[in-house]
Amino acid sequence: MEQTRLALLQHARVWFGTVGFADTVMDELTGRAGLTRGALYHHFGSKKGLFFAVYQQLDQEMDSRLQAISASAPDSWSAFSGRCHAYLKMATEPDIQRIMIRDASSVLDSEQIQAVRMSCVDAIADLLTQLVGDKIIPDTSSPVMLARLINGALLDTARYIADSEDSAVALNEAAQALDVMLNGLRR
């Protein structure tokens, strides 16, 4: 059972990440996976359910990558800045561009997206709280509100990078602007 579920997730990620949700045909996807459409419905309920599972899996992978940056950073500022830069760099990866940035907002319910977004906001707020404690940034009455502002800027910039004709150039411009914004937070 678990192998079937994993095979569906693996093939769906490739399809959703390359041709997108709208152009992914479930019979083709399940056929390439050597499975039936019934297996898809049994495990995920629908094409949208499968997409949501891929979305969650990709979000968890992104979060793990960001946590690894924090774990290896020499200090809290490097962890925070490194994570922000890494998130924007991820916006140049094709499957992240297609699944997380382009298709998710038109496929998933706003509550599903908001739940994932709030976990990102909470992670940023935790980092900001650490920066305040380390006296790197001024105390804020609401680290969550500041985290929302930063998260919104990162999301919008990631969309810009994903939609640009040259994502490498867009990423370079964004990285420079990000440094200006983040350095403005420092004492």
Q: Let me know if residue 172 belongs to a domain.
A: yes
Q: Average pLDDT, stretch 153-173?
A: 96
CATH assignment of the domain containing 154: 1.10.357.10
Q: Let me know if residue 79 belongs to a domain.
A: yes
Tens digit of pLDDT for each residue in 103-130? 999 999 999 999 999 999 999 999 999 9
pLDDT band at residue 2 using 50, 70 and 90 as cut-offs? confident
Is 187's pLDDT higher than 90? no
What total of structural domains would you count in the chain? Answer: 1
Tens digit of pLDDT for each residue in 63-110? 999 999 999 999 999 999 999 999 999 999 999 999 999 999 999 999
Q: Let me know if residue 119 belongs to a domain.
A: yes
103-110, Cβ contacts within 8 angstroms, sequence gap of 24 or more: 103/16, 103/20, 103/21, 103/22, 103/51, 104/55, 106/21, 107/21, 107/48, 107/51, 108/48, 108/51, 108/52, 108/55
Element (H, E) at 159: helix 143-163
Return the structure tokens found at 116. 């994932």
Decide if 144 contacts 128 (C-beta within 8 A): no
Instruction: Write the burial class of residue 90 (CB in 10 Å: 0-12 exposed, 13-18 middle, 19+ buried).
Output: buried
**pTM score of the predicted model:** 0.91
Q: Using CA of residue 36, residue 38, residue 43, residue 46, what is the dihedral sign? A: positive
Could you give the CA distance from residue 128 to residue 125 in angstroms, rounded to a whole number?
Answer: 5
Q: Let me know if residue 60 belongs to a domain.
A: yes
Q: Let me know if residue 108 belongs to a domain.
A: yes
Closest CA to 50 of 117, 114, 103: 103
Residue 1: what pLDDT? 80
Tally: H helices and E strands in the chain: 10, 0
Q: Let me know if residue 1 belongs to a domain.
A: no
Q: Which residues span the domain enclosing 63?
A: 52-183
The terminus-to-terminus CA distance of the chain in angstroms comes to: 54
Q: Let me know if residue 43 belongs to a domain.
A: no
Q: Let me know if residue 59 belongs to a domain.
A: yes
